[in-house]
Chains A and B, each alone.
Chain A
Amino acid sequence: MSHDNSKPLMRFLLLFSRQGKLRLQKWFTPMSDREKKKIIRDMTTMVLARQPRSCNFLHWKDLKIIYKRYASLYFCLAIESQENELLALEVIHRYVELLDKYFGNVCELDIIFNFEKAYFILDEFLMGGEIQETSKQVVNRCIESSDMLQETMEEYMSKPAF
C-alpha cells in the first residue's frame, strides 16, 4: 500500500453552462493557474461534445470524470480512478438538491448572481475533496445559521443592507 495512492476522493468540481462559461470551480488539490485553465478547456470541450443519451462517465488521464446536466448547467466532477462512480453521481445530485433548497427552484442565474453562496454551501457539504456532511438538513441548517450570523453582525454594524 504505497502512500502515493492516497489522494482525496475528488480532484475538482466544475460547473459550466452549455456555452462553456464557467460558473463555479473548486479544486481539491493544488494546481497552477495554467493547469487549471487547461483542465477547464478540456472538460468543457469533452463534456459538451457528448451525445445526449450517453453514459455519464468519461475517462481522462488517470481520472474518472462524472458529469451530469441539470437544466442549463453541466456539473463535472473528477474522481480518482478507483472511486465509485455511482456514488459520485449521488454527490452531484446532493449538491444540486442543496442549492435547490437554498435558492428555491435554483436556476443558472441564481448561481451567477450569488456565486459566493454557492461556494458557502459547497463548503458545508464537501471539504478537502471528501464528503463532509451526509445529511441534507444539517447542511441547510448550518447555512441558514451562518447567514443569520452575517446579518446580525451587519445590523450590529448599523450599515445599510447590501
Chain B
Amino acid sequence: MSPSVPLQEMIRAIRSARTQCEERGVIQRECAAIRAQFRQVDNGARSHNLAKLLYVHMLGYPAHFGQMECVRMIASPRYSEKRVGYLGAMMLLDEKQDASLLITNSIKNDLSHSNQYVQSLALCTLACMGSAEMCRDLAPEIDRLLRASNSYIKKKAALCAVHIVRKVQDLGELFAPAARSLLSEKNHGVLHGAVVLITELCERNPETLERFRKTVPDLVQIMKGLVISGYSPEHDVAGISDPFLQVRILRLLRILGRNNEAASDAMNDLLAQVATNTDSTKTVGNAVLYETVLTVLDIKSESGLRVLAVNILGRFLLNNDRNIRYIAMTSLQRIVGTDHNAVQRHRGTIVDCLKDQDASVKRRALELSLALVSASNIRSMMKELLLFLSSCPPELRAQAASGIFYAAERYAPSQRWHIDTILHVLTTAGGDVRDETVPNLIQLITNASELHCYTVHKLYRALLNDISQQSLVQVACWCIGEYGDLLLRGECQETEPAQVTEDDVLDALETVLQSHMSSPATRGFALTATMKLSTRILDNVDVIHVGYEFSSALSLKLQQRAVEYNALFRKYDHMRAAVLERMPVIEKNSPGHTNGESAGEPMKEIQPPKVKQGEPLLPQQPANQVCDLLGLLGGSEEPLQPSPAPGLSLNTASTAGGDLLDLLGGLEPTPPAPVTVYEKDGVTLTLSCEKQSDSVLTVTLTASNSTDSDMSSFTLQAAVPKSVQLHMKAPSGDFLPARGAAKVTQMVVLNNPNKVNLKMRIRVSYTSQGSAFQDTVQIDSFPGLSAAGH
C-alpha cells in the first residue's frame, strides 16, 4: 500500500525542526492548514489530514478539534476514510466525551455492512471505547454476529461481547448460550475469543460458573488436541501449538477447577500431560508450563501433581533466563505458606539466587529465604543471610537486616549465637537497622547474664575497630558502662584474653565523645557510660573532667545531662554509687513501654524538662526506692535520675510512696482540679495552681458570669505576704458575657523563696448594668499544697 505523501512530508518537516520552538511553529502551521481543510465540504484528502492530526496528537499536542472530523469520516462511505476515522475515534474520543455517542449510529450501520473489513472496524472501535450506553444499544447486534457470521467476525464479536459484559454486567446472560456453542468451533481465533468470553462470564457470576463447569471435558479435549497434535504451521510457535490459546484454556480450567473436586479430577491427567510434555527450552514453552503450574497449585489437585508443579518451579530456578528465575521465585513465594515442605526442598537453589546478578531476583530470593528459615536450618541459613547482607545492594539492606533480626529472635539456638548474630548485623549494616534495635539488643544482653563478660569484650573490640555505626556504638557504650569492671578483669572464658586498662576504656569512650561521627544520642550514651564507670573503676578524676566539658555542649540534652552528672559528683556524691548501680535484668515489655519509644535516651528525657541550668537536682529517693522505680517502670535504660518534678521537694518522706506514683502517672504531675474560691452575685472565681519549682507557683484564676447581664471592665487584683513575690500576667480579657458564655482567665506567678505561709487576697471589680461592683476574697489554702502552704 503506497504511503501517504502529505502525511510523510509533514512528519519529515516536524522531525527536521531543530528546536522545540521550531517544532511548535511547524505544528501550528500544519494544524491551521488541517483546520481549514476540515471546514471544506468535499475534500479528497480528508483522511490524510486526519492522519496528520493524529500524528500531531501523538507528539503530545492538543487535537480535540479533530473529534468532529472523526465522526464525519466514520460516516463516510469510503473505506479509507472510515479506517482513519475509526482510528481517530479510538485515539481522540473516549467514552467520557459526548462526541463518542454520535458515532453509535455509524457503528450500528457498519456492524451490518456487507464488507467484513468495515464490520471489523466497527467491532474494534466498540470493543475499544464503547460506553455502557453504546454497549446496551448494540448488544443484540453483537449477539447476532456471535451466532451467524464467518470466523473473522465471530472472533471479533466475541471480544466485543467481553467488553460489553465488562461495561454492563447484566448483559452476561445474553451471551452465555452463544459462548457455549462457540466452543465447538475449529477456528483458533474464535475458540480463543470464546474462552475469553466464558472466563469473563464465569468470573462475574458464580451461577454461570456452575453451568460452565460442564464444559471442562470439552476444554480438556481441545487442550489435548493442541498438546499432542502434530506440527500446525498456522499456529506453531517454536514447537508449541498455539501457546496463546493453551494458556487461555489453562486459565479457564483454573477458574473452573478451583474449590471443586470433581472438576479438578477431570483435568488432572491433562495437566500432568502438559506439565511433562511441554518443551521447556524456549520461553514460549515455559509460558505454558508456568500457566500449568499456576493452575495446578490453585485447584484441588492430587499431591503428586502438586509436587510435580513445585518441581517445575525448582527447575525454573536453575534456568539461565533470569525472567524465568524471577517468576519462579514469585510463584514459590506465593505458595511458601501452603506448600512449605515442597518449597523447602528447593531451599538450596533459592539461597544460591541470593548471589544472582539481577536485583529483582535478589530481592525475591531474600524474601523467599527469610520465609524458609526454620528451627532446623537456622544456623546454615543465617550464615548465608549474613553473607548476603555484607554484599547486598543498599536498597535491600534494611529489609535484610530486619528479616535477620526477626529470624534470629524466633529461632536462635543459643543466646550467645543470638548476640553474635545481632552484633554481626550491626557491624555490617548498622546504619540500616531500625531504632528499636538498640534497646532490644540491650535488653537481650542484660538477660544473658553469663555472657556479660563475653559481650562486653566483643563490643569493646568492635568499638576499637569502628565507631561510625551509631547503633553499634551506642550498645557498646552502654555495655562498657554497665560491665566495665568485667572488661578490666581481663580473662573471659569465651574470648581470647586481652589486657584492657582503665585508661584504654576511658580513651575509647572519649574517642566516641569527641568524634564528629557520633550523633548527640550516641554521645549521651558515651557520657553516661563514662559516669557509670566512676563507680566501677578506681581512678575517676578524668571522668569528672569529661562531664564538665559537656556542660557547655551545643545539644541541650547533652548539656543537661552533663550538668546533672556534675551535680552528682559535687553535692550528691554520697548518692552516686546508688544512682549508678548495676542495672537489673530488663523485662521484655509490650510496645508502648519504654522499649517502644526511642529508649536510647535515658529516662530523664521524658521527664518534664523544667530544670533551670545550674540548679542542683535533688535525689529524693533512697537507693532501694530507685530499684522499686525501675520495677514499676519496667524497662528504663538508666537509673531514674533525680526528677525535677516540683511537688516532691515540698513533701515529707512519709508521702514518698504516694509521690512516686504521682511521678509515674503521666510523667508530669497533673495539676489538681480547680477549686472555687469565690461565688457571689453570679460571679464565680475558680483557682488552680501548678508548681513550677520548689518556690515558684503558677496560680490560674478563672472567672465566669452566671447572671443575665454582661459584665465589663472585669479586673482582678491580688495581694500576697511581704516576702512573696507576685507577678500578674495579662488577663485574657475584661469582658464577662452573661450566662457563662465565656470565661476570663488570669495567671499569677508567685515566688515564695522563704517558704512562708502562702495567702492571697483578691479584689474583684466589674461593671454590670451601668453600676460598678467590687468585692474582696482571701485565699488561705491552695489546691495541691499542704495546709501549711508549702
Contact = CB atoms under 8 A, between A and B. Distances in A.
A161 interface: yes
A113 B3 contact: yes
B323 A55 contact: yes
B243 A150 contact: no
Interface in A133-162: 133-135, 137-138, 142, 145-147, 149-151, 153-154, 157, 159, 161-162
A95 B361 CA distance: 27
Contacts of A153: 78-80
A56 B287 contact: no
B323 A89 contact: yes
Interface stretch (B48-56, B642-650, B707-715, B756-764): B48-56
A84 B123 CA distance: 27
A70 interface: no
A57 B326 CA distance: 9
Given A53-B357, A154-B80, A162-B3, A134 B244 contact: yes
B188 A130 contact: no
Contacts of A113: 3, 7-8, 11
B193 to A, nearest CB: 7
Contacts of A145: 117
Main SS at interface, chain B: helix
Nearest to A24: B58
B361 A128 contact: no
A30 B322 contact: no
A127 B156 contact: yes
Nearest to A85: B327
A5 B203 contact: yes
A28 B163 CA distance: 10
Interface in A1-55: 1, 3, 5-8, 22-25, 28, 30-32, 37, 51, 53-55
Contact of B127 (A22, A87, A128): A128
Given A55-B322, A112-B11, A153-B80, A123 B203 contact: no
A111 to B, nearest CB: 11
Interface in B299-324: 322-324
A90, A128, A131, A146 — which one has the most chain B CB atoms within 10 A of its CB?
Answer: A128
A137 B234 contact: yes
Given A30-B96, A150-B1, A127 B124 contact: yes
Given A127-B128, A157-B78, A84 B287 contact: yes
B3 A86 contact: no
A146 to B, nearest CB: 5
B44 interface: yes
Interface in B96-138: 96, 115, 117, 120, 123-124, 127-129
Contact of A134 (B1, B209, B235, B283): B235
B162 A128 contact: yes
Contact of A116 (B87, B95, B234, B294): B87
Interface in B724-759: none
Given A54-B358, A142-B152, A149 B234 contact: no
A161 B95 CA distance: 35
Contacts of A54: 322, 358-360
A55 B353 CA distance: 14
B169 interface: yes
Interface residues of A, number: 61
B237 interface: yes
A56 B8 CA distance: 34
A23 B48 CA distance: 18
Interface in A84-118: 84-87, 89-91, 112-117
B55 A114 contact: no
A51 B234 CA distance: 36
Interface residues of B toward A: which range?
A: 35 or more
Contacts of A6: 166, 200, 203-204
B247 to A, nearest CB: 5
A6 B83 CA distance: 30
A132 interface: yes
Contacts of A117: 1
Given A22-B58, A54-B359, A84-B291, A132 B11 contact: no
B84 A134 contact: no
A3 B204 contact: yes
Contact of A89 (B4, B55, B166, B283): B283
B489 to A, nearest CB: 54
Contacts of A90: 237, 243-244, 283-284, 287
A30 B152 CA distance: 26
A58 B160 CA distance: 30
B159 A130 contact: yes
A162 B326 contact: no
B203 A3 contact: yes
Contact of B159 (A3, A5, A119, A127): A127
A3 B169 contact: yes
Contact of B244 (A5, A131, A150): A131
B397 interface: no
Interface in B622-651: none
A66 to B, nearest CB: 9
B60 interface: yes
A115 B8 CA distance: 10
Given A5-B203, A127-B124, A162-B5, A115 B55 contact: yes
Contacts of B80: 150, 153-154
A73 to B, nearest CB: 14
Interface string B653-674: 0000000000000000000000
10 contacts: A115-B58, A117-B1, A128-B162, A132-B156, A132-B189, A135-B234, A149-B115, A161-B2, A162-B2, A162-B3
- A-B pairs, top 7 by smallest CB distance, nearest first, are A86-B287, A128-B127, A147-B1, A162-B4, A134-B244, A128-B163, A55-B322
Given A7-B166, A112-B11, A132-B193, 7 more contacts: A1-B206, A22-B60, A37-B60, A84-B290, A85-B323, A114-B3, A132-B159
Interface of B: 1-8, 11, 15, 44, 48, 51, 54-55, 58-60, 78-80, 83-84, 87, 94-96, 115, 117, 120, 123-124, 127-129, 152, 155-156, 159-160, 162-163, 166, 169, 188-189, 192-193, 196, 200, 202-204, 206, 209, 233-235, 237, 242-245, 247-248, 251, 255, 283-284, 286-287, 290-291, 294, 322-327, 357-361
